[in-house]
Structure 1
Amino acid sequence: MPKNGSTTAAADWRRSVPGISNLLHHALETGQMADVEFSVGREYGDVVIFPAHKFILSLNSDVFNAMFNGGLPETRGKSIDITEVLPDAFSIMLVYMYTGSVEDSLRVENVFHVIYCADKYNLPLLMDLCLQFVLIQLEPDTCLAYLEIIKPYPHDSVPAFMEKCLEIADALTETVLRSEQFLLISQNTLEMVVQRETLSADENSIYTAVEKWAVEACRRNNLRPSGNNRRQMLGSVLFLVRFPLLTDAQLVNGPAKSELLSESELLALYKYKHAIVKPPLAFPTEPRTGCGWTLQCHERVFVQPEDANWLAGEVSGIEDDGVTVQLVGRSVTINERDQIVRASDILKKGQAILAFDGVWKTAKYYSIAAERDSHVVRIGDQKVAVGFVYIRISRDEMAARKAAHVG
């Protein structure tokens, strides 16, 4: 050390990156004082070397703690080979363990790889951050695919995440059933969907989608799509379809024509529908509650957080220090009240916003609807009302609200 007590040039980083989080991030980026390194991604082609610090990793993860302090023979050297992990995901996990943040690094392309890392190394809070990110990405054509990926993980937040996916299937059943991903889900996930009381499609649409799924399942298993093979693929799902709700014409042109149901099952259905004394059936007979639901409109506001993307939300609280707006999957407090605007204020400017069609999608102003002053935007070829957001509400509750309003 120089006589005047000043630090050397090599130590200047201590002055330029103040704060524990910044210091740790610097140590991770530079590999300074690292005592272990990981060779990551051999299965993905290029191997990336990550220097790290056993102490930091052990504090974060009991898996790493056992790895470094439990005497495992493969960790006695300085380099550890991790073949099946995507390097980008491993990097995000390391940054999280050093700083507690994933910043803006999560993408649809890498988030499921990060989830794999969070599970592999037992990082439940990182798993929570990833699931929150995926929730915002949910759309009708992806909700079941994402459910399929997430459901095997033994994490406390997974059941709630799965329910959110299934709620989209409830609200937009027809769209979900027609999606390409629906045909690729497992039999177990299909059962989760078809058993729900709150699906909003008619039963013939549900049956038709189940038939298509069974045909595709036969193809995946190199089976001829005969009636018996399709029944084998469906298993218990067959007995969740409410065949008694189909009309005679739908039964004749559907399961009877495709030979999905046996002659005895078809005869029992016919007797149930027309005989005075109804025979017992192996199928549910009551309509799904979702089919009796309608739509009610409520105006939404839009906010513009620091990321400059307009987000739609609903005011959930007004305090002296700001307004709290509930967004999809999270809430945000806006301290500047002029950041909260009506949908029409944005639409009239022709700016891109998020439109509601069961989930929020990017859309642009299209025209003003003739009815009221509701505005319309276009997502592809589809018009979506944006001045208002649709929420599902039972007819009984609708009648009660109308009565209260009149009173």
Structure 2
Amino acid sequence: MPPNKRKIKSEEASQSSSNKTKEIKKNKVVDKWQATKSTMKECFQFLFNNEKFADVHFIVGKDEKQQIIPAHKFILVTRSDVFETMFYGSLAEPGDKIPVPDIEPAALLAFLKFLYTDEVEIDTNIVMFTLYVAKKYNVPALQNHCVKFLKTNWNVDNVFLLLTQAYLFDESELANFCLQMIDTTPVPAFASDFFIDIDLKTLSDVLKRNTLKIHESLLFDAVLRWSEAECKRQGLPIKPKNQRSVLGEAFKLIRFPLMTIEQFVNGPVKSGLLSDKEVVQLVIYLKGDSKQPKPSIPFSNQNRYSGNGVYSTYTYGYASMYNGQRY
């Protein structure tokens, strides 16, 4: 091919390439979205869950619920040291896909919404999942918002569920709050379905408390109900021997000496959970002369609250009276 024709074709190719470049550049800025935003927050809000400039994608959920959620590394690393390590640390992995099957899509979106805009959009359905994500990626500010939400929206029916989740996520502040709420509203709390679902360690933590405002006979009834549920979970027949076995050392945390002799005979003795020796020891203790020293027994006689408690029958089960106040 003659040199002049090569030159013409080269110029045509160059011009074509230049035109394509201009067209691409034009398409990239055609929306001019930046001009419509007056603050940095508005810009980041625009980029939230937006493919524009996205350089990382979270793959969340499983099977048909799986979603791909776009994000921007620069924003993520400014809010989380975990992301900084993931993307720019010495062990950073290449690629823009982050599989997170342990995270619910709604919770991740709430988490990212906070990172991008500082806005908190949580409800009772996703708050615990969002707390999990905030802890996983070490965002204390969002963790605090979640805990505050839980403390504000708790109720006596779900306080044991909340306590279990607080232990699961190592939220000591929330766990202490739940324990205090159980202290003050023990009767309906122990009557809830969530109580019998707690594990043995949680049950033991509750039984160790000196601040429970409940009569020991009612507490024993609750423990008896828990032991029946635990036998079912372990596939054991509901028999006194098995109930005592599943309770383990937690059984020793019941303060039988705080009961009256009538409560003791009509409750613990009839349950069959105590050995004959323990029954004899406790009967002697409870019927003993108040002027004489009490015999030694393997159960604590320490009151669970300060002051004198007065207990009365109530329409739903029982309600305790403490210093004139109903709990």
TM-score when scaled to structure 1? 0.66
Alpha-carbon distance between aligned partners in 1 of 2:285 and 2:28, rounded to the nearest angstrom: 90
Corresponding residue to 1:35 among 55, 78, 81 = 55
Correspondence for 1:60: 79
Alpha-carbon distance between aligned partners in 2 of 1:142 and 1:14, rounded to the nearest angstrom: 46
SS in 1 for 2:297: coil
Alpha-carbon distance between aligned partners in 2 of 1:147 and 1:224, rounded to the nearest angstrom: 28
Correspondence for 1:310: none
Please state how far the C-alpha of 1:257 moved relative to its aligned partner: 1.6
Corresponding residue to 1:150 among 139, 159, 166 = 166
Corresponding residue to 2:247 among 216, 227, 234 = 234
Please state how far the C-alpha of 1:291 moved relative to its aligned partner: 7.1
Contact in 2 for aligned 1:200/1:291 (Cα 8 Å): no
Alpha-carbon distance between aligned partners in 2 of 1:259 and 1:293, rounded to the nearest angstrom: 28
Correspondence for 2:109: 91
Alpha-carbon distance between aligned partners in 2 of 1:126 and 1:236, rounded to the nearest angstrom: 38
Contact in 2 for aligned 1:199/1:290 (Cα 8 Å): no
Q: Deviations over 1:330-369 (max 9, x none)?
A: xxxxxxxxxxxxxxxxxxxxxxxxxxxxxxxxxxxxxxxx
Contact in 1 for aligned 2:308/2:322 (Cα 8 Å): no
Corresponding residue to 1:282 among 279, 293, 298 = 298
Please state how far the C-alpha of 1:115 moved relative to its aligned partner: 1.1
Correspondence for 1:69: 88
SS in 2 for 1:289: coil
Corresponding residue to 2:41 among 21, 24, 39 = 21
Structure whose CA Rg is larger = 2
Please state how far the C-alpha of 1:135 moved relative to its aligned partner: 0.9
Please state how far the C-alpha of 1:394 moved relative to its aligned partner: 5.3
SS in 2 for 1:58: helix
Distance change >3 Å, CA 218–CA 111, structure 1 → 2 = same
Q: CA RMSD in A?
A: 2.8
Query: How many residues of Structure 1 are paired with residues of Structure 2 in the alignment?
Result: 291
Q: Residue type matched to 2:216 in 1?
A: E
Please state how far the C-alpha of 1:92 moved relative to its aligned partner: 0.8
Please state how far the C-alpha of 1:111 moved relative to its aligned partner: 0.8
Please state how far the C-alpha of 1:80 moved relative to its aligned partner: 2.1
Contact in 1 for aligned 2:261/2:287 (Cα 8 Å): no
Corresponding residue to 1:245 among 243, 246, 258 = 258
Please state how far the C-alpha of 1:71 moved relative to its aligned partner: 5.0
Please state how far the C-alpha of 1:113 moved relative to its aligned partner: 0.9
Moved over 6 A (4+): none
**% identity of equivalent residues:** 31
SS in 2 for 1:214: helix
The farther-off stretch of 224-233 and 89-98 is 224-233
Distance change >3 Å, CA 239–CA 128, structure 1 → 2 = same
Say if 2:125 is the partner of 1:109. yes
Distance change >3 Å, CA 261–CA 8, structure 1 → 2 = closer
Correspondence for 2:145: 129
Correspondence for 1:261: 274
Alpha-carbon distance between aligned partners in 1 of 2:50 and 2:197, rounded to the nearest angstrom: 44
Correspondence for 1:386: none
- Which runs of 5 or more residues in structure 2 are unaligned? 1-21
Contact in 2 for aligned 1:199/1:291 (Cα 8 Å): no
Q: Which structure is higher in helix share?
A: 2
Q: Which has the higher contact order (CA 8 A, sep 6+)?
A: 2
Correspondence for 2:175: 162
